[in-house]
A and B are shown apart, each in its own frame.
Chain A
């Protein structure tokens, strides 16, 4: 077998294994209570009959291990069970919301990735001069404010005071792409700001790391201009770490979406999850947790594989 193929298939197998373990962890996370799930859903004042009914409905009378395997088995075939609160099928209500969430995350990525790489290069080019200092001051500030507050600050100034963009992001199927984009302008801006800071810092660090190598000094000594040094010698070697950074931040984006959706009342996965955590609807929470974990693990795995493909040195582990 080709060595690259072997490494990539190893990563894939590892990712699947990790996902399996993560599903077990999510399952265990909802079982580690003093008492049981039924009691905590119904609260203190539940009658014994209601408790017994709910236990039977949730299958709590069976041992935990067999419940886990039947849950996992149906999840693999696409059946995520029914919600406790309204009895609807989870997979169908989740499908459309997942599409909405990915739509939001996709546009945030389209805006933030090129911007972050460009600003990262700029920061390296003007290292320790005012553009670099300005960029790091702005990133420090935006890292120090939680996502939901950036959301409200933008909503207050841009949405309400200036009226440039709608302050809630309601979308539905009858809207055209342009209308949808206008509706999600503010949430996309918030997500961009949040990821931009991380991505730019990491891009800057990755390129600076490359810039300290001996071949960069050679390129400088033979008289190349600094932009040529960066684009011809530094950038190709920095691709692998940058792709890694981008993937990690996309994974982060999928999580950051949860909070931003709640702020802007956007009908996506995050809002679905948060609503049902408050209602203590365990099957929905488990299903959402599994989907989020799967996306997160998938993106991290892609980051791993891309860096193996881009960097020949990683293909021959010691």
Chain B
């Protein structure tokens, strides 16, 4: 089965898998503890500390590994939440039509009229900043975009002959959503899922960088930048390490998502 996968998608799959593997098995892989001070402040990289140490002498590689765990966990949870909510509402709106569709769609328009980051900041100004709250806020805000896509895809599918056949056969609404529309809408949704995941990674990193995401001593990639940013002016590149991690993760997921999307469009080719 690996014969038909293009090389770029294989690279993407490999690195995405690697990051998830490291995230899951972080405590066994990291050479030192997450919050353990093991050396001097901002040591350069050495055989003992591969990436050097951070602003208070913690091993940067270990921080990065644990940080990746937090970042990937939050992003995954937020993506799952936004997908479940967004696609359920989107499919429901497409099938029901009428005032249900209008009510949900106009509400989503309203939420999208405020920039996501600004809205998240407004809500977080009164919420306690904990990981469940972060996941909830990110997931709910992002579900608006999933809703738009899934509704658009489902509206197209809803007028297909086989859906009409199912309706005439007397199938219920649940059957039509889950057995007729969902399987046919799955590929674009899965590709979109990759993009939403990247967006969640960037978003949680941004919030943590602003000091409104994961709170210390917990580590995440945005927080690592925040902790080490003062070193930049002295020419210490510790704060740039997460840039590399975030960029490679995002690009690999992008490559996989592109491949999934291309595969679907070529499957459809010729048959509309």
Closest chain A CB from B191 CB (angstroms): 15
Chain B residue at minimal CB-CB distance from A36: B126
Q: Which residues of B contact A289 (CB under 8 A)?
A: 114, 118-119, 121-122
User: Which of B109, B124, B206 meets A259, CB within 8 Å?
Assistant: B206
Q: Which residues of A contact B209 (CB under 8 A)?
A: 146, 148, 259, 262
User: Which of A160, A167, A255, A280 meets B117, CB within 8 Å?
Assistant: A255
Q: Which residues of B contact A26 (CB under 8 A)?
A: 114, 119, 122
**When the two chains form their complex, are residues A282 and B246 in contact, meaning their CB atoms are under 8 A apart?**
no
Chain A residue at minimal CB-CB distance from B116: A255
**When the two chains form their complex, are residues B122 and A285 in contact, meaning their CB atoms are under 8 A apart?**
yes
Q: Which residues of B contact A251 (CB under 8 A)?
A: 115
Given the interface pairs A148-B225, A280-B126, the reply to whether A25 lies near B110 with Cβ below 8 Å is: yes
User: Which of A18, A31, A140, A152 meets B232, CB within 8 Å?
Assistant: A152
Given the interface pairs A149-B243, A277-B125, the reply to whether A144 lies near B250 with Cβ below 8 Å is: yes
**When the two chains form their complex, are residues A152 and B126 in contact, meaning their CB atoms are under 8 A apart?**
no
Contact residues of B between 217 and 260, Cβ < 8 Å to A:
222, 225, 229, 232-235, 237, 239-240, 242-243, 246-247, 250-251, 254
Provide the bound-state CA to CA distance between A259 and B210, in Å: 8
Q: Which residues of A contact B235 (CB under 8 A)?
A: 156, 160-161
Contact residues of A between 130 and 187, Cβ < 8 Å to B:
140-141, 143-150, 152-153, 155-156, 160-161, 167
**When the two chains form their complex, are residues B118 and A149 in contact, meaning their CB atoms are under 8 A apart?**
no
**When the two chains form their complex, are residues B205 and A146 in contact, meaning their CB atoms are under 8 A apart?**
yes
**When the two chains form their complex, are residues A156 and B206 in contact, meaning their CB atoms are under 8 A apart?**
no
Contact residues of B between 43 and 102, Cβ < 8 Å to A:
none
Given the interface pairs A141-B251, A277-B125, A278-B212, the reply to whether A292 lies near B242 with Cβ below 8 Å is: no
Is residue B186 within 8 Å, beta carbon to beta carbon, of the partner chain?
no
**When the two chains form their complex, are residues B240 and A152 in contact, meaning their CB atoms are under 8 A apart?**
yes
Closest chain B CB from A202 CB (angstroms): 15
**When the two chains form their complex, are residues B251 and A144 in contact, meaning their CB atoms are under 8 A apart?**
yes
Is residue B128 within 8 Å, beta carbon to beta carbon, of the partner chain?
yes
Is residue A274 within 8 Å, beta carbon to beta carbon, of the partner chain?
yes
Is residue A192 within 8 Å, beta carbon to beta carbon, of the partner chain?
no
**When the two chains form their complex, are residues A25 and B126 in contact, meaning their CB atoms are under 8 A apart?**
no
User: Which of B109, B118, B239 meets A258, CB within 8 Å?
Assistant: B118
**When the two chains form their complex, are residues B210 and A262 in contact, meaning their CB atoms are under 8 A apart?**
yes
**When the two chains form their complex, are residues B232 and A145 in contact, meaning their CB atoms are under 8 A apart?**
no
Q: Which residues of B contact A286 (CB under 8 A)?
A: 122
20 CB-based A-B contacts, threshold 8 Å: A22-B113, A26-B122, A37-B126, A40-B128, A41-B126, A144-B250, A145-B247, A146-B205, A149-B225, A149-B246, A150-B243, A156-B232, A161-B235, A258-B117, A258-B121, A259-B209, A282-B126, A289-B114, A289-B122, A296-B118
Binding site for B on A (CB under 8 A): 18, 21-22, 25-26, 29-33, 37, 40-41, 140-141, 143-150, 152-153, 155-156, 160-161, 167, 251, 254-255, 258-259, 262-263, 273-274, 276-278, 280-282, 285-286, 288-289, 292-293, 296-297, 300
What 8 pairs across the A-B complex have the smallest Cβ distances?
A: A144-B250, A149-B243, A255-B115, A285-B125, A277-B125, A289-B122, A292-B118, A146-B202
- Besides the contacts A146-B205, A286-B122, A292-B114, what 14 more A-B pairs have beta carbons closer than 8 Å? A31-B126, A32-B123, A141-B251, A144-B251, A156-B240, A167-B233, A255-B115, A259-B117, A277-B210, A277-B212, A280-B125, A285-B121, A285-B125, A297-B113
